[in-house]
Amino acid sequence: MGRVREFDTAAVVERAMDVFWRLGYEATSIQDLVEATGIGRGSIYAAFGSKDGLYVAALQHYAERSAATMSARLDRDEPVRIVVRDLLLALVDETVDDPERRGCLITNSAVERLPRDRFAARVVGSSLDGTAEAITLVLRRARDRGDIRPDADITAIADFFVTTIQGLRVQGKAGADRRRLAAVVDTALNVL
């Protein structure tokens, strides 16, 4: 009979996510994960199979948490410019208020792990697609209300905003200040 797991898997994934987010995949050692999670190497391997398995679980956790936050921010019955502007500025604030300037774990993963890591690629692709879908819903409602042109290419606009979000996160991680990033947000809103 196998041993019963004596740790909270969700808490381990959360702590591992923080380490990967701060250090990146390559710079994170198994010892870093042991120290951060409080469980032994054997338990990490038994529960997740490998460092890669724990990384994908952490990345998936981050993606799910981000999707829930984004959905809550977008689920408002206000003019589309206000909803999108508030979303983008909230992301700017998260980025510049983070003393470590970690950026976005999805973006970091795309830059560090893709295309060679097919499991991370699946999570990253799904997360970006989910963001586009969430923005598409907001844009469709706006088009139905007459907030944007009836012939607007909703898919292209949603993809533009996903790209803008990723760019804001990268620029913020690289040290751009709030004023500079807010100017990008205002410029991006001209698409609407």
The answer as to whether 26 is a domain residue is: no
pLDDT at res. 4: 44
CATH number at residue 84: 1.10.357.10
pTM for this prediction? 0.91
Confidence of residue 62 (pLDDT cuts 50, 70, 90): very high
The answer as to whether 12 is a domain residue is: no
CB 87, CB 73: distance < 8 Å: yes
Confidence of residue 50 (pLDDT cuts 50, 70, 90): very high
pLDDT at res. 3: 53
The answer as to whether 51 is a domain residue is: no
Give the count of domains, the chain: 1
Residue 191 tokens read as 């698409």
The answer as to whether 125 is a domain residue is: yes
**In 49-177, where does DSSP find H-type helix?**
51-74, 80-97, 105-113, 118-145, 154-173
Domain residues for the domain of 184 are 60-191
The answer as to whether 92 is a domain residue is: yes
Chain centroid, CA 55 distance in Å: 14
> pLDDT tens, 17-40?
999 999 999 999 999 999 999 999
The answer as to whether 49 is a domain residue is: no
Does residue 1 register a pLDDT over 50?
Answer: no
Residues for the chain: how many in total? 192
The answer as to whether 111 is a domain residue is: yes
Confidence of residue 7 (pLDDT cuts 50, 70, 90): confident
The answer as to whether 45 is a domain residue is: no
**Span 58-73, average pLDDT:** 96
**Span 137-154, average pLDDT:** 95
Residue 169 tokens read as 């996160």
**Span 168-187, average pLDDT:** 97
Closest to 101 in 3D by CA, of 161, 182, 168: 168
From residue 67, alpha-carbon distances to 23, 72, 183, 187 in Å are: 22, 9, 25, 24
pLDDT at res. 97: 97
